[in-house]
Structure 1
Amino acid sequence: MIDRRTFSTSLLATAALGFASSPTWAANDQRPIHILVGFPAGGGSDAIARLLAEKLKDLLGRNVVVDNRPGAGGQVAAQQLKAATPDGTTLFLSHDHTISILPQVVKKPGFDPKADFTNVGGFATFVNGLAVSPNTPAKTVPEFIDWVKTQQGGKSAVGIPAPASTPEFLVQLLTKKYEVDLVAAPYKGSAPMMADMLGNQIPAGIGSVQDFIEYHRAGKLRMVGVLGSRRQAAMPDVPTFSELGFKGLEDEPFYGIWAPKGTPAAFIDTFTRALQKVVAMPDVNKQLTDMGLAVGYMSPRQLATRERAYTQVWSRIIKESGFNPQ
């Protein structure tokens, strides 16, 4: 027979051990917070993360460090988030590609956003667009299509920042719509794609507006069309594809921040409140808007709703394209 006192003592010891080994977080925690970014330094996501990190550091009273872990369209960073201890020291800033698209186009991505991540908060939506390189003579989408048909034998490469990404499926949609042969040329992030576009190594590219906008303003590249339901405040001269008669591309991707599943709710609440305050700061709002983002805080629940809706739209497009997960 088991002695009750011995059993009780053993049970308490086991419980204490389990509590001690569980992730903990306290309001006075001073450990640095690492924000993983799945793309190289110099790209749009990196610039956004660094802007937010600087402001969050002041509000939270803790160092907030941007940790670039590029590779496989954010897959490397997402896997690292999954493996991280859920103690409030590791977060992941990403957009739709890693969260909504990758799990649909990769058989074994090494993570499941629903099972492995916790929504922390969203802060913006944005649109993708088509831009042409300096030596490409087109100034509009119709002119680009005409140039491909008459000067390029009906075929042209179009850069994309990652394989099996939204831009790749957009290349397929444009090919079908305009009856040309546009070939997606994948890069390891937007920064190397932009370098080749600026150097006229590739005639056009599809990516997020925040990657193109400064070069468009400087006249080094030309944005000729954007997705979404409305023209962008940062570049009102560029028409939407919907205006050009290409419907069905109105849904807008998003930016958000995620934590490993099991991260203490108290930390999530503290961080998302700080994020909400940062997004409301006039200087931050202006800088993000100037980057081509539509700024607006999303609670963890709102981010989940936005993510779910976007995933459903692109699930249909991906299936209709005949793409087979790799």
Structure 2
Amino acid sequence: MVLNVCERNSDDARRPASYSPDQRPVKPTTRILNIQRPSVYREHPGGDIMKAIIFRRAATAAAAALALCVSAAHARDDYPARPLKMIVPFAAGSAADTLSRAVATQLATQLGQAVVVENKAGAGGTIGTMDIARAAPDGYTIGLAAQGTLITNQALYDKPGYDSLKDFTPIAVLADVANVLVVAPESPYTSVGALAQAIKAQPANKFSFSSSGVGTSHHIAGVVLGQYLGKPLMHVAYTGAPQGMVAIMSREVDMGLYNIPAALGLIRGGKLKPLAVTSLQRSPLMPDVPSLNESGMKDFEVTLWFGIIAPAGVPADRVARLHKELNAVMSQPAMRNKLTEQGYDVARTPLAPPTDFTALIRRDLDKWLPVLKTMKGGAQ
């Protein structure tokens, strides 16, 4: 409603009754003020215009504040509102990259937003892992974590650039990969027991094993095996797993402990002879091959796990959303079958909560740091 208020010139108030209009030096002026006011103005019978204006401004400010609150809540509810980035600290085409891309594809479907995989390899995975730690903690950057990046590198590098317990938000462990102890088909050793007996009977470093480099799970497994038997083994590092396994086949070295996905084809082709796996239980891909644990080496376990992490400080509701959708992804039969065929021991669903992932990192640091520090001299 519009209020018309007339204001007269102050000279009119002082004009005498007999004053003629022709005698006025200045013609009186009349101004009409159009003031838009809400109907609630009727509650102000005194017609106090300033109060009405103040009231209107206060109401406008309150409405704006309410709109901001609603907008913020709506933004939280809409997460994610844009594509996510998944940093993989390993080269494209690696086993870790294959796992990451398979998960990213299905996670995008669950979230309704693209999940872009970005490979940042180098320095044993420290480069990409540093980028994960330094990203904004808003839930839009996640990354693949591995036992090597969060555990091994903490011991092998003086300054890896991150603290595994302080700089990340663990979300979920996705899968494990065990190693398999292999020898050449012509090797006289047909069981772990026979091999262990021969190692114990020989001088230290008499038996040799190959690996794809210092600090790899192949290297760690060989060192732990020698410690378990009380006889150090000679480590021979090659440029990659294929070269290391060729050295076993040609009898340049006595044995090796390689990731199941890498060795499976050669085992099935009769090029390598498996004696045992390094997981506590047998691998479903090789059900006839015992574990070292059941072969007399109680509690022997060397596995490599992979999981999804984010920078420290991601809001709890977004961590919960990511965990929920990852659980949905890893529960899909097609996904589980695909990863199992590639040699991964897929995590059971429902996936363990983030607190369990944190506990795993802490436990593995306590378990492996003393062992890993003995290998530090070979790290770059």
Query: Which residue number corresponds to residue 259 of structure 1?
Result: 310
- Distance, in Å, in 1 between the alignment partners of 2:93 and 2:269 is 17
Query: Which residue number corresponds to residue 102 of structure 1?
Result: 153
Q: Which amino acid aligns with 1:309?
A: R
Corresponding residue to 1:34 among 70, 85, 89: 85
Q: Which amino acid aligns with 2:352?
A: M
- Distance, in Å, in 2 between the alignment partners of 1:206 and 1:25 is 48
In the alignment, structure 2 segments of 5+ residues that lack a partner are: 1-67
The offset of 1:143, in angstroms, is: 6.6
- Distance, in Å, in 2 between the alignment partners of 1:76 and 1:135 is 42
The offset of 1:220, in angstroms, is: 4.4
1:308 aligns with 2:356: no
The offset of 1:262, in angstroms, is: 2.4
1:50 aligns with 2:98: no
The offset of 1:259, in angstroms, is: 0.5
Query: Which residue number corresponds to residue 156 of structure 1?
Result: 208
Asked if the contact 1:25/1:88 (under 8 Å) is kept, the reply is: no
The offset of 1:313, in angstroms, is: 2.2
Q: Secondary structure of 1:126's match?
A: strand
Structure 2 vs 1, CA of residues 90 and 223 (structure 1 numbering), >3 Å: closer, same or farther? Answer: farther
Query: Could you say which structure has the larger radius of gyration?
Result: 2
The offset of 1:216, in angstroms, is: 2.8
The offset of 1:175, in angstroms, is: 3.2
Query: Which residue number corresponds to residue 7 of structure 1?
Result: none
Please, which moves more after superposition, 194-203 or 252-261? 194-203
Asked if the contact 1:38/1:77 (under 8 Å) is kept, the reply is: yes
Corresponding residue to 1:125 among 176, 183, 187: 176
- Distance, in Å, in 1 between the alignment partners of 2:209 and 2:80 is 53
- Distance, in Å, in 2 between the alignment partners of 1:43 and 1:271 is 24
Query: Which residue number corresponds to residue 299 of structure 1?
Result: 353
Alignment: residue pair count: 297
Q: Which amino acid aligns with 2:340?
A: T
Structure 2 vs 1, CA of residues 169 and 210 (structure 1 numbering), >3 Å: closer, same or farther? Answer: same
Structure 2 vs 1, CA of residues 251 and 174 (structure 1 numbering), >3 Å: closer, same or farther? Answer: closer
Asked if the contact 1:241/1:249 (under 8 Å) is kept, the reply is: yes
1:167 aligns with 2:218: yes
The superposition leaves residues 3-52 of structure 1 with CA deviations (integer Å, 9 ceiling, x where unpaired) of xxxxxxxxxxxxx9xxx9xxx99525222x22222222333212211211
Q: Which amino acid aligns with 2:127?
A: V
In the alignment, structure 1 segments of 5+ residues that lack a partner are: 1-15
Asked if the contact 2:91/2:121 (under 8 Å) is kept, the reply is: yes
Query: Which residue number corresponds to residue 327 of structure 2?
Result: 276
Corresponding residue to 1:194 among 211, 232, 242: 242
Query: Which residue number corresponds to residue 13 of structure 1?
Result: none
- Distance, in Å, in 2 between the alignment partners of 1:263 and 1:25 is 15
Query: Which residue number corresponds to residue 10 of structure 1?
Result: none
Please, which moves more after superposition, 210-219 or 303-312? 210-219
Q: Which amino acid aligns with 2:316?
A: A
The offset of 1:165, in angstroms, is: 4.0
- Distance, in Å, in 2 between the alignment partners of 1:30 and 1:137 is 59
Q: Secondary structure of 2:169's match?
A: strand
Q: Secondary structure of 1:94's match?
A: strand
Q: Which amino acid aligns with 2:107?
A: L
Q: TM-score, normalised by structure 1?
A: 0.76
Please, which moves more after superposition, 250-259 or 298-307? 250-259
CA-based RMSD: 3.6
Q: Which amino acid aligns with 2:245?
A: M
The superposition leaves residues 191-245 of structure 1 with CA deviations (integer Å, 9 ceiling, x where unpaired) of x322552585765433332333344334444433211221112211222112332
Asked if the contact 1:74/1:98 (under 8 Å) is kept, the reply is: yes
| Identical-pair percentage | 26
The offset of 1:140, in angstroms, is: 4.4
Structure 2 vs 1, CA of residues 122 and 181 (structure 1 numbering), >3 Å: closer, same or farther? Answer: closer
The superposition leaves residues 244-287 of structure 1 with CA deviations (integer Å, 9 ceiling, x where unpaired) of 32234236543211101123333322211110001111111122
Q: Which of 1 and 2 has higher RCO (CA within 8 Å, sep 6+)?
A: 1
The superposition leaves residues 149-203 of structure 1 with CA deviations (integer Å, 9 ceiling, x where unpaired) of 99xx93434114x42344323222333427464214164xxxx322552585765
The offset of 1:100, in angstroms, is: 2.1
Please, which moves more after superposition, 172-181 or 68-77? 172-181
Query: Which residue number corresponds to residue 237 of structure 2?
Result: 185
Query: Which residue number corresponds to residue 298 of structure 2?
Result: 247
Q: Which amino acid aligns with 1:288?
A: L
